[in-house]
Structure 1
Amino acid sequence: MTEPAISQLQPLPDDWQRALAVVAHPDDLEYGCAAAVASWTDAGREVSYVLATRGEAGIDTLEPARCAALRELEQRASAAVVGVSEVAFLDHGDGVIEYGPALRRDIAAAIRRHRPELVVTLNHRDTWGGTVWNTPDHRAVGRATLDAAGDAGNRWIFPELTEQGLEPWDGVRWVAVAGSSSPTHAVDATAGLERAVRSLLEHRTYIEALTDEDPEAYARTLLTGFAEETGKRFAGVPAVAFELFPR
């Protein structure tokens, strides 16, 4: 009996210049797609980050105000490793982000401000791989980002943004979802994988609270494993997978 064929992932389109990544927490992009970001900035593309929270509820041993300041510093250092200098925080509450017009408006404003052709976010579905329940924050931000990509181009949705000088931007061509259990495309991670490991390591405080494993061994094993597993569907090349939604 022959093994079923593994469906192959297509290369993510690369005919774009500006991308905006929108996620819930510090470290979401480092676990999800930093190797792809490194390859994009290497190619001269502009990538900016927007985070809905500062991750203030993410470390049990640190009270939120101190945790938020520390995780912001770690996120900015982490972004710099992969060539991203612009990192903004929306200051929604960590762990209690609500999907709805307020979140959509904040993300639409960011899209209007940055005017990206590609928007990146994290898994918006209920589960990871069909078996592990996703967090409410990831679901809310991922779904709101998919919706805000359309909201940003409609002047009659959130007209107050136009009054604030943020003109509609209908130039988003794709939303790419990292961490999806239904990926369609991938980006070669070969050149960016080492920097992705270093980028995740900048979240040392969080990692040390999460595991007793050596932080570098933890980050390297995890990201290399993800990339190699994706590579089985991408001509054997280590890769970062995305579910791509054209617009």
Structure 2
Amino acid sequence: MVAEQLEPMPTEWTRALAVVAHPDDIEYGTAAAVAVWTDAGREVSYLLATRGEAGIDGIPPEESAELREREQRASAAVVGASTVRFLDHHDGVIEYGTALRRDLAAAIREHRPELLITINHHDTWGARAWNTPDHRAVGRAALDAAGDSGNRWIFPDLADNGLVPWDGVRWVAVAGSPQPTHAVDVTDGFERGVSSLLEHRAYIEGLTDTSPETYARNVLESITGGGAAPQFGGRPALAFELFPR
């Protein structure tokens, strides 16, 4: 059976905002696409709901938050991301709701992206690989906030603070979705994608006994090669589920 082919990602945009739950979420593939986009002169900013303070078992949250924030900023710099901002939601217990939607709508109004990128909001990563509550909450809130940001009657206090409605989000791209529709060739961004993930060294060392260098390369090869490539002309690719607006 021939796999259904993925469509190329849109290119008619200049600004993107990536909204995820934790440090490292962007680096599991998406950062390689960010490298390609910034090379082409596009602006990509990062917004993280947490500082990933509950992500390393052997490091207390108050220490882990500072460490993981440093790692994320270094990681973003590798691929040319414009800004990195952290919200104050708590790692592991992010709650989907109006407070989260408001925070994301505010960021969208501030950055005014045409492309909004987020993490998998589905229950699973495919088959029986269960997704985490943080990913589901942030991904779903990002999809909703793309509409909230353009409605003057939702969160009207934002406009009072200078964040006027922005109805310019044209697409929401969901990375890691088990239902991909589009992809971007990351041949030219692959090595920087590996380097970007490798900046999360403390996180990786707490996750596996495999050397961080081997782990980062294996992960990116699996995502961009074994994942999207067969559905995108055999090229290393990063897949997204694209929601036009």
Q: TM-score, normalised by structure 1?
A: 0.98
Say if 1:27 and 1:75, in contact at 8 Å, map to a contact too: yes
Percent sequence identity over matched residues?
72
What aligned pairs does 1:1-247 form with structure 2 within 5 A after superposition? 4-229=1-226, 230-247=228-245
Give the drift of 1:139. Answer: 0.2
4+ runs deviating over 3 angstroms:
none
**Ranges in structure 2 where 5+ consecutive residues have no aligned partner:** none
Q: Deviations over 1:170-203 (max 9, x none)?
A: 0000000000000000000100000000000000
Deviation at 1:162, TM superposition (A): 0.5
Give 1:28 shift.
0.1
TM-score norm. by structure 2 comes to 0.99
Query: 1:29 & 1:127 partners in 2: Cα distance?
Result: 18
* Alignment partners' CA distance in 1, 2:107 and 2:29: 21
Measured in 2, the distance between the counterparts of 1:223 and 1:36 equals 11
Q: Quick one: distance in 2 between partners of 1:212 and 1:203?
A: 14
**Farther off after superposition, 142-151 or 81-90:** 81-90
Cα distance in structure 2, aligned partners of 1:81 and 1:8: 30
CA apart distance, 1:226: 1.3
Q: Is the 8 A contact 2:52 2:65 kept in 1?
A: yes
CA distance in 2, matches of 1:74, 1:85: 16
CA contact (8 A) 1:32 1:122 kept: no
The separation in 1 between residues aligned to 2:49 and 2:29, in whole angstroms, is: 16
Query: What is the rounded CA distance, in whole Å, between the counterparts of 2:193 and 2:124 in structure 1?
Result: 24
Give 1:32 deviation, angstroms: 3.5
> In structure 2, the residue corresponding to 1:225 is in which secondary structure?
helix
**Deviation digits for residues 18-63 of structure 1, max 9, x if unmatched?**
0000000000000131110000000000000000000000011111
Aligned residue identity for 2:153: W
Q: Is the 8 A contact 1:51 1:90 kept in 2?
A: yes
**Distance in 2, Cα, partners of 1:59 & 1:163:** 39
User: How big is the shift at 1:16?
Assistant: 0.3
Aligned length in residues = 244
Aligned Cα root-mean-square deviation (Å): 0.6
* Structure 1 residues not aligned, in runs of 5+: none
